[in-house]
A and B are shown apart, each in its own frame.
Chain A
Amino acid sequence: MDAFIGGLSLIFDPYVLMVMVGAAAFGLVVGSIPGLTATMATALLIPVTFFMDPVPAIAAIVTTVATAIFAGDIPGALLRIPGTPASAAYCDEAFAMTRKGKAQLALGVGLTTSIIGGLIGAVVLMMATSALAEFAFKFSSYEYFWLACLGLSSAVVVSSGSTLKGFVSLLIGLFIATIGIDLISGHPRFTFGSTEMLSGVSFIPAMIGMFAISEVLRFVAAKNNSRPKVPVQSLSNLFKGVGGVLYKYKFNVFRGSSIGAVTGVLPGAGADIAAWVSYGVSKRTSKEKEKYGTGHVEGLVDAGSANNAGLAGAWVPALVFGIPGDSVTAIAIGVLYMKGMNPGPMIFQENPQLLNAVFIAFFVANLLLLPLGYLAIRLSSQLLKIPARMLMPAILIFCLVGSFAITNSVFGVVIMLAMGVLAYIMEENGFPIAPTILGIVLGSMLEEMFLSSMIKADGELLAFFSRPIAATLGVLTILVWLIPIIKSLKSKYWKPQTP
């Protein structure tokens, strides 16, 4: 209880609240502009959070992402362009409602379900982390090794596109993590005599490069960057009819939030996958299946609550095991490491106030969404008119100065450029970049656990399966590795019979 009160006092500090309001406004603007993702918003925010204490830094990240994910619904509903990938699942449905003249209801439902989903996700986060922390204390290096492998492998398997390319992306991330001085032996690796490379590839410039610079490059290389036409519809009475919809689909709100929170917990599966899964379940189990795709609000209720619930879920493995659930939590973990606060079960004993502050930040961020989200929808016609060609140079300069600020030298900018070009080429050729990020964040932990396990076992690989939890996690990991092989064999040798 003391820790909870400690957490409350940390969040309800005027400075932290001010940071959260600023972060919410930033998240809403970035999220509502098509092409700028919630992860990009986080990447642009971290150079600023770098100079903050851990609590405002984490609160800013939580708030930005929660608001950006909701704001993605705005261009989704009005322009049929999802503001963030998490809104893609139900973008057509919301736009179909707009075409029927129901943009107000679509956005009102989107806002309220986002808030409810976010709050339910925060409750799940609180309960699941406490329950899992006890369990995590029993872990040795074998369990952590397998858990990291399982997290990384799941991230590859669930990532969009080819699984093979996902594995390549992961290996690239793991390789990047080995650059710099090896913390176990003290030997410099792949530094080629550069003193700046000794500390490795700096995390923040790498993130900025992979999420922001690659996006700027993609924008300027795109063929059509014309300004979209915003439909004229009244958005003044946003909550009209929302109560009735929520009452009618109360079970859907709860189901969407639960699916979202659970999907978010799975490593690699973030808010976007949560929305797709939830929308799919909603459509399959609905009594009015035929209405889906024609502007039916039911799917919106499920998926709108799922993506915001998924955000909190992704923090469960991040806080308990130090293994991020998605790209945003990977960035947050990187920020925590830089602040000298290593996530994992020890944080529950060493810094329970911080942990409670994270939980409370989720509640406050979602509550802030109500007035600020309302304001963002009312201002949406102006927000959506901001031309991206005015924004991209501004984003580039923030990237340059943000990367410079971390290392206080142009070396950060060099890393940013290299990683930005790498991410651009990878994405253009169908290689997902999320596994690379997870590889960079988890690489050193995975190597440390691997080496200490090998030394303990004296090179005996069977020792990795000698403890019950380790064996279970090991078998699960191997099963995840087998999924793509089985899928490929099935598609090769098993042809469905056509009548």
Chain B
Amino acid sequence: MKFNDAVFGIFLIVFAIAEIIYTRTFPALHGQRFGASDFPVLIGVGLIICGCLLVVSGYKQRTASSPIEEAISKEPNLLTIAGWREKPRSVINFFVVIISILFYIFFVDALGFVITAFSILLVLFLRLQNGVVASFIAALFMTGVSKLLFGVWLLVPLPIGPLGF
């Protein structure tokens, strides 16, 4: 998933302007000209400069003159997903990982660590083309190891679900 540099440049410029405007609401130190806003403003200015240079570099990429570069510049435009398009399985796997993490964030308190971790592991092992039995055993094993290591040995208060684990 590759973006043209100009996309990053424009995003950085917009982000930096918003950041600077918001930062100006921070108060100065008592009796001083300086305060909490100075450093973030400097970062914002730096981002705007870099953003402008990225826009220029992105523009150059699109107006490339050599035939090869032209061919490339016609294809990527603002977003290139060439590598992904060839293999939809990879795209699904990518989003399965993201959704697994979101599932953990939203459901671990309600379901408890053991059920949540086991479900995520089982789905991922299966998605990555491991056998059903191997996936089940590996998911069970890894859930046990992480529960023992963090929950029992390191005393991390891992959430306990409705079944008591």
Given contacts A48-B154, A393-B121, contact A187 B26 (CB under 8 A): yes
Q: Which of B92-145 contact A (CB under 8 A)?
A: 93-94, 96-98, 100-102, 104-105, 108-109, 113, 117, 120-121, 124-125, 127-130, 134, 138-139, 142-143
CB proximity of B107 to chain A, nearest CB, Å: 10
B100–A405 CB distance below 8 A: no
CB proximity of B41 to chain A, nearest CB, Å: 10
Mask of A387-431 contacts with B, CB within 8 angstroms, 1/0: 001101110111011101100101001101100110001001100
Q: Which of A202-219 contact B (CB under 8 A)?
A: 213, 216-217
Which one, A184, A222, A398, A459, contacts B33 given CB within 8 A? A459
Q: What is the interface size of chain A, counting residues whose CB is below 8 A from a CB of the partner?
A: 56
CB proximity of A280 to chain B, nearest CB, Å: 28
Cα–Cα distance between A47 and B149 once the two chains are bound (Å): 11
Residue of A nearest to B96 (CB): A220
CB proximity of A426 to chain B, nearest CB, Å: 9
A455–B50 CB distance below 8 A: no
Q: Which of B38, B47, B156 counts the most A-chain CB atoms under 10 A from its CB?
A: B156
B125–A393 CB distance below 8 A: yes
A171–B39 CB distance below 8 A: no
Given contacts A184-B29, A401-B158, contact A164 B94 (CB under 8 A): no
B33–A164 CB distance below 8 A: no
With a cutoff of 8 Å between Cβ atoms, the chain B residues found around residue A216 in the complex are: 97
Cα–Cα distance between A392 and B97 once the two chains are bound (Å): 10
B117–A400 CB distance below 8 A: yes
A401–B156 CB distance below 8 A: yes
Given contacts A175-B43, A397-B142, contact A168 B36 (CB under 8 A): no
Q: Which of A129-177 contact B (CB under 8 A)?
A: 164-165, 167-168, 171, 174-175
Cα–Cα distance between A131 and B44 once the two chains are bound (Å): 38
Cα–Cα distance between A178 and B36 once the two chains are bound (Å): 9
A185 within 8 A of B: yes
With a cutoff of 8 Å between Cβ atoms, the chain A residues found around residue B156 in the complex are: 401, 404-405, 408
B50–A175 CB distance below 8 A: no
A383 within 8 A of B: no
Q: Which of B39, B91, B113, B125 counts the most A-chain CB atoms under 10 A from its CB?
A: B39
CB proximity of B1 to chain A, nearest CB, Å: 6
A220–B90 CB distance below 8 A: yes
With a cutoff of 8 Å between Cβ atoms, the chain A residues found around residue B138 in the complex are: 390, 393-394
With a cutoff of 8 Å between Cβ atoms, the chain A residues found around residue B5 in the complex are: 429
B97–A171 CB distance below 8 A: no
B158–A404 CB distance below 8 A: yes
With a cutoff of 8 Å between Cβ atoms, the chain A residues found around residue B84 in the complex are: 221
Cα–Cα distance between A185 and B157 once the two chains are bound (Å): 34
Mask of B61-87 contacts with A, CB within 8 angstroms, 1/0: 000000000000000000000011011
Residue of A nearest to B1 (CB): A428
B8 within 8 A of A: yes
B124–A189 CB distance below 8 A: no
A164–B54 CB distance below 8 A: yes
With a cutoff of 8 Å between Cβ atoms, the chain A residues found around residue B47 in the complex are: 168, 171, 175
B3 within 8 A of A: yes
CB proximity of B146 to chain A, nearest CB, Å: 5
CB proximity of A441 to chain B, nearest CB, Å: 15
With a cutoff of 8 Å between Cβ atoms, the chain B residues found around residue A167 in the complex are: 46, 50
Q: Which of B1-21 contact A (CB under 8 A)?
A: 1-3, 5, 8, 12, 19
With a cutoff of 8 Å between Cβ atoms, the chain A residues found around residue B23 in the complex are: 189
With a cutoff of 8 Å between Cβ atoms, the chain B residues found around residue A398 in the complex are: 146
Sample of 20 further A-B pairs with CB below 8 A, known A410-B105, A429-B5: A47-B150, A164-B53, A184-B29, A213-B101, A220-B127, A220-B128, A221-B90, A392-B128, A393-B120, A393-B121, A396-B120, A396-B124, A397-B146, A405-B154, A405-B156, A410-B108, A413-B105, A429-B3, A429-B8, A459-B33
Please name the 8 residue pairs, one residue from A and one from B, whose CB atoms are nearest each other, closest first. A393-B124, A220-B93, A389-B128, A405-B156, A182-B36, A447-B39, A185-B36, A187-B36
Chain B residues with a Cβ under 8 A of chain A: 1-3, 5, 8, 12, 19, 22-23, 26-29, 32-36, 38-40, 43, 46-47, 50, 53-54, 57, 83-84, 86-87, 90-91, 93-94, 96-98, 100-102, 104-105, 108-109, 113, 117, 120-121, 124-125, 127-130, 134, 138-139, 142-143, 146, 149-150, 154-158
- What are 25 contact pairs spanning A and B, CB under 8 A? A48-B154, A164-B50, A168-B50, A174-B39, A185-B27, A185-B35, A185-B36, A189-B26, A189-B40, A190-B40, A220-B96, A222-B90, A393-B139, A396-B124, A397-B121, A398-B146, A400-B101, A400-B104, A400-B117, A400-B120, A401-B150, A405-B150, A429-B2, A429-B5, A450-B39
